[in-house]
Amino acid sequence: MKIFYNIRIRYACEYQFMAKQLTITEIARLAGVSAGTVDRILHNRGKVSDKALAAVEKVLSESGYRKNIHTSAVGLRKGFSIAVSIPNSDRGEYWNAILNGINHALDEFSDISIDCKLAFYNQFDIYSCRAAFESIPEMKPDAVIIGASFPEEATSLCLSLDRKNIPYILVNTAIPGSFPAASCYADQEACGKLAGKMLYLIGSTPPQPGKHAEYAILDSSLSDTCTRQQTAARKAGIREFFSRAGIENCLREITMPAMNPAESERSILEFIHAHPLVKSIAVIGPRGYIAADILARNGIRDVPVLAFDLTEGNRKGLQAGMISAIIDLHPELQGRTAVKAAIKHLLYKTPEKNISHLMPVDIIVAENLPYCKNIFLE
How many other C-beta atoms are found inside a 10 Å radius of the C-beta of residue 50? 7
Kindly state whether residue 64 participates in binding DNA, applying the rule CB under 7 A.
no
Q: Which does 75 bind (CB under 5 to 8 A by kind): DNA, a copy of itself, none?
A: DNA
Kindly state whether residue 76 participates in binding DNA, applying the rule CB under 7 A.
yes
Kindly state whether residue 243 participates in binding DNA, applying the rule CB under 7 A.
no
Nearer to DNA, 31 or 339 (CB): 31
Q: Binding pattern to a copy of itself, positions 7-46, x when CB under 8 A? A: ---xxxxxxxxx-xx-------------------------
Provide, rounded to whole angstroms, the least separation between the CB of residue 274 and a copy of itself: 22
Nearer to a copy of itself, 113 or 267 (CB): 113
Task: Please report, as residue ranges, which positions from 237 to 276 form the binding site for a copy of itself (by CB under 8 A).
Answer: 241
Q: Which does 52 bind (CB under 5 to 8 A by kind): a copy of itself, DNA, none?
A: DNA
**DSSP line for 147-197:** E-SSHHHHHHHHHHHHHHT--EEEESS--TT---SEEEE--HHHHHHHHHH
How many other C-beta atoms are found inside a 10 Å radius of the C-beta of residue 272? 18
Identified binder of DNA from the candidate list 8, 10, 77, 163, rule CB under 7 A: 77
Nearer to DNA, 31 or 132 (CB): 31
**Number of residues counted as binding a copy of itself (CB under 8 A):** 86
Task: Please report, as residue ranges, which positions from 12 to 31 form the binding site for DNA (by CB under 7 A).
Answer: 23-25
Identified binder of a copy of itself from the candidate list 53, 174, 344, 347, rule CB under 8 A: 344
Nearer to DNA, 38 or 217 (CB): 38
Task: Please report, as residue ranges, which positions from 78 to 117 form the binding site for a copy of itself (by CB under 8 A).
Answer: 79, 85, 88, 103, 106-107, 110-111, 113-117
Q: Which does 42 bind (CB under 5 to 8 A by kind): DNA, a copy of itself, none?
A: DNA
Provide, rounded to whole angstroms, the least separation between the CB of residue 304 and DNA: 52
Beta-carbon contacts of 260 under 8 Å, excluding residues fewer than 6 positions away, are none
Provide, rounded to whole angstroms, the least separation between the CB of residue 49 and a copy of itself: 30
- The 3-state DSSP class for residue 53 equals helix
Kindly state whether residue 72 participates in binding DNA, applying the rule CB under 7 A.
yes
| Apex 172 CA angle, 170 and 178, nearest 5 | 35
Nearer to a copy of itself, 17 or 179 (CB): 17
Say if residues 123 and 224 touch (Cβ distance below 8 Å): yes
> Which residues share a beta bridge with 308?
327
How many other C-beta atoms are found inside a 10 Å radius of the C-beta of residue 165? 6
Q: Which does 36 bind (CB under 5 to 8 A by kind): DNA, a copy of itself, none?
A: DNA
Kindly state whether residue 128 participates in binding DNA, applying the rule CB under 7 A.
no
Long-range Cβ contacts of 304-307 (<8 Å, 24+ apart): 304/202, 304/203, 304/205, 304/279, 304/280, 305/280, 305/281, 306/195, 306/198, 306/199, 306/202, 306/280, 306/281, 306/282, 307/282, 307/283
Nearer to a copy of itself, 114 or 290 (CB): 114
Distance, in Å, from the CA atom of 123 to the CA atom of 225, rounded to the nearest integer, reads 10
Long-range Cβ contacts of 115-120 (<8 Å, 24+ apart): 115/79, 115/80, 115/81, 115/82, 116/81, 116/82, 116/83, 116/84, 117/81, 117/82, 117/83, 117/84, 117/141, 118/83, 118/84, 118/85, 118/86, 119/83, 119/84, 119/85, 120/85, 120/86, 120/87, 120/88
Distance, in Å, from the CA atom of 39 to the CA atom of 26, rounded to the nearest integer, reads 12
Report how far Cα 146 is from the mean position of its chain's Cα atoms.
12
Provide, rounded to whole angstroms, the least separation between the CB of residue 55 and DNA: 9
Kindly state whether residue 170 participates in binding a copy of itself, applying the rule CB under 8 A.
no
Task: Please report, as residue ranges, which positions from 28 to 47 form the binding site for DNA (by CB under 7 A).
Answer: 33-37, 39-40, 42-43, 45, 47
Task: Please report, as residue ranges, which positions from 163 to 192 form the binding site for DNA (by CB under 7 A).
Answer: none
Footprint on this chain of DNA (rule: CB under 7 A): 23-25, 33-37, 39-40, 42-43, 45, 47-49, 51-53, 67-68, 71-72, 74-77
